[in-house]
Amino acid sequence: MTRVNRREFVIAGAAAGLASATPSQAFGRAPAVLTRQSPKAVVISSANGNRFRNGGTETCVELAFRRITAGDDVLDSLVAGVNIVELDPEDASVGYGGRPNADGIVQLDACCMHGPMRRAGGVAALEGVRTPSSVAQAVMDQTDHHLLVGPGAQAFARNMGFEIEDDLNTDRSRRLWLEWKRRTDPRHYLDPNRELARRDVETKRLATLDSEHGEDELHGTINCNGINPAGQICGVTTTSGLAWKIPGRVGDSPILGAGLYLDNAVGAVGSTGRGEANLYNLTSFLIVENLRQGMSPKDAGLAGLRRIQENTIERRLLNSRGLPNFGVNFYVLDAGGEYAGVSMYSSQNSRYAVCTENGAALVPLEPLLDGSPGD
């Protein structure tokens, strides 16, 4: 549980005022009196933040927005929101029931940042805890460190009172892993109903599985960022990472500057999609710096995607048009409460979630490129 004292509240409010000024006000000669417009509360997230309810009545963005507007700490509200998705077995890309690694083990990554308190925490390759975002918040609140990994992260979680489970697979995630295993290691993992005709059908069906899942699902993640009327900005990103990954692989999600970055005076940015592309460019950090230069959330995000495109030169990562053959998305919220979601392709995961005083909705992502990664 994170609380902000009065001094931090005032500093955050002043910083938000500076950021909501025009670039000439912010970087040129400041007027004697800065008239600050309070931002309205906003929560944005990847689309899964307005899809899953885990049997309850609210989605992630709805719950987070309700709590923020009731005056709760912004990060506490966002983490409570993403907990819904982490706990929901229907989202096979995050938390409990997330797609496992190549050994069939669910390994989770998460990080969070608290803008007004200038704090951050993360966990990577964590096994056995359904809500890695809450463990990341405990790292932030209860240690001097920013990132704990693997067995050390699990031992920390146990010591903090989190329940450790032997296996975070659901029947569905185990079935998906077994289908992948049969496809990639058919000599050892046989279809139990292996008459020839059926096997042909099964082989064809399995061959299309990855495209059916969609690349976004294979890299599935939730990022959620929010701001309150005092201009306090926080963010959280949580994932089971790349499906069927080499055990120990860590993507962008728990890495500050990649899966998430924010500056309370400027804005918050988080990501879903191909983590390696984002890690190479530390794109969330780059987009926050673009905001700092006065770009709009949309322009700042598209410039980040352009950097990824420019740095993607290996043939194995290019499609027939010489463009990246993967999807990656960024969710951008500035200190004035303006926001945008951007994606590499128009076809990729084409919506993101927004909750304002008008309620929650899925709205279109702004694409950098036409078509799809496979074109």
Least distance between ligand GLY and beta carbon 241 (Å): 4
Closest separation between CB of residue 257 and ligand GLY, Å? 14
In angstroms, the CA 252 to CA 141 distance is: 22
- Does 239 participate in binding ligand GLY (rule CB under 6 A)? yes
CB of 275 to ligand GLY, least distance (A): 2
| Stretch of residues binding ligand GLY (CB under 6 A), selected from 73-81, 117-125, 187-195, 248-256 | 248-256
Indicate which single residue of 241, 257, 270, 373 sits in contact with ligand GLY (rule: CB under 6 A): 241
Annotated active-site residue in 2, 59, 131, 221: 221
| Residue 251 in the binding site for ligand GLY (CB under 6 A) | yes
CA-CA distance, 214 to 310, in Å (whole number)? Answer: 24
Work out how close the CB of 335 gets to ligand GLY at its nearest, in angstroms, rounded to a whole number. 25
Q: Is 221 a catalytic residue?
A: yes
Residue 251: CB minimum distance to ligand GLY, A: 2
How far the first Cα of the chain sits from its last, in Å, is: 46
Rule CB under 6 A: choose which of 62, 86, 215, 252 binds ligand GLY: 252
**C-alpha dihedral, 363 to 369 to 371 to 375, nearest 10°:** -140
Nearer to ligand GLY by Cβ, of 59 and 107: the residue is 107
Q: Which span sits near ligand GLY by CB under 6 A: 3-11, 170-178, 245-253, 296-304?
A: 245-253
Q: Measured between alpha carbons, how far is 48 from 138 in angstroms, rounded to an integer?
A: 24
Beta carbon nearer to ligand GLY, 337 or 341: 341
Interacting positions 259-288 with ligand GLY (CB under 6 A): 272-275
Nearer Cβ to ligand GLY (149/160): 149
Of positions 221, 225, 228, 350, contacts ligand GLY by CB under 6 A: 221
With contacts defined by CB under 6 A, name the span among 8-16, 142-150, 250-258, 365-373 that binds ligand GLY.
Answer: 250-258
Q: How far apart are CA 35 and CA 18, in angstroms?
A: 9
- How far apart CA 99 and CA 215 sit, in angstroms, is 13
**Total residues at interface with ligand GLY (CB under 6 A):** 12
Q: Which stretch binds ligand GLY (CB under 6 A): 28-36, 249-257, 262-270, 281-289?
A: 249-257
Q: CB atoms < 10 A from the CB of 325, how many? A: 21
Q: Which of 41, 42, 92, 242 binds ligand GLY (CB under 6 A)?
A: 242
Q: How far apart are CA 365 and CA 345, in angstroms?
A: 9
Distance separating alpha carbons of residues 202 and 205, to the nearest angstrom: 5
Among 51, 99, 130, 219, binds ligand GLY (CB under 6 A): 219
Listed residue (328, 284, 302, 237) closest to 44, CA to CA: 237
Q: Is 304 in the site for ligand GLY (CB under 6 A)?
A: no
Helix runs in 70-131, H state only: 74-87
Tracing tokens 């899809």 back to the chain, one arrives at 51
Cα(98)–Cα(101) distance, integer angstroms: 9
Nearer Cβ to ligand GLY (17/241): 241
Q: Which is nearer to ligand GLY, 241 or 297 (CB)?
A: 241
Q: What is the smallest separation between the CB atom of 10 and ligand GLY, expressed in angstroms?
A: 36
255 with 223: CB under 8 angstroms? Answer: no
Report residue 113: phi and psi, to 5°: -135, 140
Q: How many CB atoms lie within 10 A of CB 6?
A: 7
In terms of Cα–Cα distance, which of 360, 361, 358, 363 is closest to 340? 363
Helices (H), 171-223: 171-184, 196-207, 209-213, 215-218
- Where are the strands (E) in 89-199, listed by range? 108-114, 119-126, 148-149
What is the spatial distance between Cα 80 and Cα 302, in angstroms, rounded to a whole number? 29
Beta carbon nearer to ligand GLY, 239 or 283? 239
By the criterion CB under 6 A, which residues form the site for ligand GLY? 219, 221, 239, 241-242, 251-253, 272-275
Catalytic amino acids? 221
